[in-house]
Amino acid sequence: MGAKEYDIAVIGGGPGGYVAALRAARQGASVCLFEADKLGGTCLNRGCIPTKALYGTARLQEQLRQAADHGFTLQGVSFDYAQAVARKDAIVDQLVGGIVQLLKSAGVDVFSGTAAFEAVNLIRFQCKGVVGRVKARNIIVATGSRSVRPKALAGDGKNILTSTEILAIKDFPERLLVIGGGYIGCEFASIFAALSCRVTIVEQLPRILANSDKQIVREVEKALAEREVEILTGVAVESLAVQEKGGVEARFAGRVETFDKVLVSVGRAPNSTGLNLDAAGVESVRGAISVDDHMRTNVPTIFAIGDVTGGVQLAHVASAQAGVAVDNALGGDRVYSGRVVPSAVFTLPEIAQVGLSEEDCKAQGIATSIGRFAFAASGKALCDGESRGQVKIVAEKDGGRLLGAAIVGEGASTMIAELALAMDQELTAAQVAHVIHAHPTLPEIVMEAAEDVDGLAVHKAGRRRT
């Protein structure tokens, strides 16, 4: 095959790659996209979306447990995990199909195969056994990340699983060991525990969800404990052994126990293997492609976005960086700051945060004022049967400018958007508090937490702060 030339070539079809391709095509550029697996990448096929589909199932189960409080008597209720998995797969297929159509309608040429650099502006790809080459004036690398697989905890894909493989199981485990108490491990622990699986979390660090606000995490820990999830921190799993009779024998904390399945979720690494970066002279550090604040590598016509850069591993970060990379590839001068990046963890209850935590500010010597308001004091939360949680706002001591926020509770992933926007616009807590919030709604909790920064929350006992 001869080498066809494009304005922009994108390697990787995840939330960074396909968004970059669409944005470039809609600005009139000729674009091609390479994807070795399925469009949508890890997020859509093996991460964000399928886990949230199962999360929706687990959340419904939690609501069913409250049925009696609402006057309902449920009899003969059963659960078919295989049907829940089928629902998950259907949602994924629908969204993948949507991306396929979007790329087609935008005129993006999609190549289903592996791609690697052969020179600065030349890509060699293999598609259905056929080798071809593509020239591009600019190239955007968006190959994401992969699950880390420690040798001591090597998986077999059937019993010892990564986050990808656990999404494919059809038989519901009675006992699950989760190795790693980060957001991936805790999401799966919450989902399976809600569906009546006995779960044990083992985390080497002193606490689970180490990157989240301590007070917010306590609410998640309480909820997990109520579902009889065992949490062991400061502990390492010494060995795993698949048993002939089934199950996995695990050694940790002086114990030997057998589990139906083991999830190894100890992190993700940049997925740059096989790109042949040296052929283009692209610099990387331990697999992470080095970029500047324009998302440009050391080679002016080559950009990289998302997890492969070794930065914050969030789908929406990759999508935001895609816009920056495309604009700059087409002659612009946009800068990606990453100053305000909201995140959400879909445990039960949800947690979400943006900006600095109270602990971050103390470590940096920043004087703060803290505002808090509990879901239990919200009429809407009580009506919904979701009284667990709180909104916490961190503001500068002098002036009240928002520095960060954390939320735990129903709808946390939605409510954090207001505070992210406020931070982006450098608003103060008082300015957020002065915005009229509809009643009765959960966002009123945000308003009252903002008022509480100055000791003015109407529905919270206490005196005005001096």
What number of helices (H) and strands (E) belong to the chain? 14, 24
Q: Which residues of 347-384 are buried (b: 16+ CB within 10 A; e: fewer)?
A: bbbbbbbbbbbbebbeeeeeebbbbbbbbebbebbeeb
Residues forming beta bridges with residue 117, ordered by sequence position:
123
DSSP states of 393-421: EEEETTT-BEEEEEEEETTHHHHHHHHHH
DSSP states of 319-373: HHHHHHHHHHHTT-------SS--EEE-SSS-EEEEE--HHHHHHTT--EEEEEE
Report CA torsion sign: 209, 214, 217, 223: positive
pLDDT at 328: 98
- Determine phi and psi for 34, rounding to 5 degrees: -110, 130
CA gap 459, 374 in Å, rounded: 10
Task: Quickly tell me which residue has 């059937």 as its tokens.
Answer: 158
Counting residues of the chain whose pLDDT is more than 90, the rounded percentage is 92
Please give the C-alpha separations between residue 130 and each of 5, 127, 268, in angstroms, as whole numbers. Answer: 18, 5, 31
Own/partner pairs, 363-369, CB within 8 angstroms, 24+ separation: 366/396, 366/403, 367/396, 367/397, 367/398, 368/394, 368/395, 368/396, 368/397, 368/403, 369/395, 369/396, 369/397, 369/400, 369/429, 369/453, 369/454, 369/465
Q: Which one is predicted more confidently, 126 or 464? A: 126
Counting residues of the chain whose pLDDT is more than 70, the rounded percentage is 98
Does the structure show a pLDDT above 60 at 1?
A: no
pLDDT at 464: 61
The whole-number average pLDDT for the span 63-88 is 93
pLDDT in tens, 343-366: 999 999 999 999 999 999 999 999
- Give the count of beta carbons closer than 10 Å to the beta carbon of residue 327: 17
CA gap 164, 451 in Å, rounded: 43
Least confident among 69-73, 101-105, 462-466 = 462-466
Q: Encoding tokens for residue 105?
A: 């309608």
Would you tell me the crossing angle of helices 214-226 and 183-194 to the nearest 10 degrees? 30
pTM here? Answer: 0.94
pLDDT in tens, 208-223: 999 999 999 999 999 9
Active site residue: 70, 316, 439, 459, which one? Answer: 439
CA gap 174, 198 in Å, rounded: 6
In a 13 Å sphere around the CA of 260, the CA atoms on its Cβ side amount to: 13
The whole-number average pLDDT for the span 67-93 is 94
Q: Encoding tokens for residue 169?
A: 């199981």
Residue 439 known to be catalytic = yes
pLDDT at 3: 66
The whole-number average pLDDT for the span 256-263 is 96
Does the structure show a pLDDT above 50 at 120?
A: yes
pLDDT in tens, 3-21: 679 999 999 999 999 999 9
The whole-number average pLDDT for the span 302-324 is 97
At 300, is the pLDDT very low, low, confident or very high (cuts 50, 70, 90)? very high
Residues forming beta bridges with residue 401, ordered by sequence position:
428
pLDDT at 465: 59
Q: Encoding tokens for residue 251?
A: 């050694």
Set out the domains of the chain in order of their start, with CATH numbers: 4-147+269-329 (3.50.50.60), 151-266 (3.50.50.60), 349-452 (3.30.390.30)
Helix (H, G, I), strand (E, B) or coil at 110: strand
51: Cβ–Cβ under 8 A, 6 or more apart, which residues? 163, 167, 187, 188, 191, 346
Contact 124, 131 (CB under 8 A): yes
Contact 214, 207 (CB under 8 A): yes
- Determine phi and psi for 184, rounding to 5 degrees: -65, -50
pLDDT in tens, 126-170: 988 789 999 999 999 999 999 888 877 877 889 999 999 999 998
Average pLDDT of the chain, as a whole number: 95
Helix (H, G, I), strand (E, B) or coil at 449: helix
Contact 304, 284 (CB under 8 A): no
Measured at the alpha carbon of residue 248, what is the angle toward residues 245 and 254, in degrees to the nearest 5? 125
pLDDT at 130: 87
